[in-house]
Amino acid sequence: MTKSGDARIKARLATVHQRMRTMGPVMRGSVTLMGTRHKQPYFSVSIKGRTRVIYLGDEKAVTARTYAANYRKLSALVDEMTLLHMRLLKGGGPANIKARKPKRLRVPARATRHGRSQVA
């Protein structure tokens, strides 16, 4: 990797670290509305295979949504930081780590009544 490419990656890492420091409180989970007639906000999260739910009320629901949004932002920053560190470890430039294309799903042929197959 060139020194300028290395410097750009380290500058981007510094920016990511700064954004992480100013993130604020985070909570993994989501705010959901529960109830049959009167929908009420609850916060739910699955920890160790067990779903935990707490009642929020309207005022706390706004705060909980902010915390959950912060978690999603933090997760995206951690992913970006991981890719940047991979580039530094690999020693290649920014073009060396590419996102993989999703695999195309094959449509299976289905049999007709007469034993012949046709494409769905």
Q: Tell me, what amino acid is at 16?
A: V
Pick the residue with more confidence: 119 or 13? 13
- Name the burial class of residue 31, with classes exposed (0-12), middle (13-18) and buried (19+) by CB atoms within 10 angstroms of its CB: buried
pTM over 0.85: no
First CA to last CA distance, the chain:
49
Pick the residue with more confidence: 97 or 75? 75
CA distances from 88 to 2, 6, 117 (A): 11, 7, 51
State phi, psi for 47 to the nearest 5 degrees: -125, 125
| Tens digit of each residue's pLDDT (9 = 90 or more) over 15-42 | 998 998 888 899 999 999 998 888 999 9
